[in-house]
Amino acid sequence: MTARALTVSYAALWAATGAGAALALAGIHIIAAPAPRDALEPTLGTAVGLGAHNALVVLWPLALVLLGWPALIGVRRVGDGLIAAQLLAHGLFVGTALGQHPDTWRYLPHLPLEWLAIATPTAAWLTARTPHPGCPIGTSLAVLRLAAACVAVLLGAAAIETYLVPVT
């Protein structure tokens, strides 16, 4: 995975978040966001469950890399669309919630880590689309290492979300 691909993916998430907030402030709501509140019980089980749930949402582009989708032109375009939709949807949904309820930011101390975890498999996809000499993305070991890193980041984000979000 290249640093450039990770930067592009991470920036795309933040750009979509900003766009969602701007749309909400202009009165265009992608979703009707409820007022923020801490709905999580602060337990280890909550954090692990949240991390596991988020791993399913985040890691699927790595499966596409392992299946060789980036090498197949038609299928690669489907993967491009799916991955772009994931980045756009996540960013817009969070952004629209922030635009509707500006206090929501207090409930999102984990967001930079979650965005990093979503951006990493996307960066692996982008890198696999245009292989670079000496970059082993697409090998099972490289993908497994990225998946493990993403899970670690997600568990950190889940711990922050579970224990550090303010109780209302």
Q: Where are the domains of the chain?
A: 3-163
State the DSSP code for 2.
-
pLDDT for res 89: 96
Please give the model's pTM, rounded to 2 decimal places: 0.90
Residue 2: predicted pLDDT: 80
Report the C-alpha gap between 116 and 14 in whole angstroms.
Answer: 10
Q: What is the mean pLDDT of residues 111-127?
A: 94
**What are the Cα distances from residue 28, in Å, to 33, 35, 88, 158?**
12, 17, 16, 30
| pLDDT of 133 strictly over 90 | no
| pLDDT at 139 (0 to 100) | 75
Average pLDDT rounded to a whole number, residues 105-116: 94
What pLDDT, on a 0 to 100 scale, did the predictor assign at position 80? 94
Can you tell me the mean pLDDT for 76-93? Answer: 95
Which residues have C-beta within 8 Å of that of residue 116, sequence separation ≥ 6?
Answer: 10, 153
Residue 31 corresponds to which amino acid? Answer: I
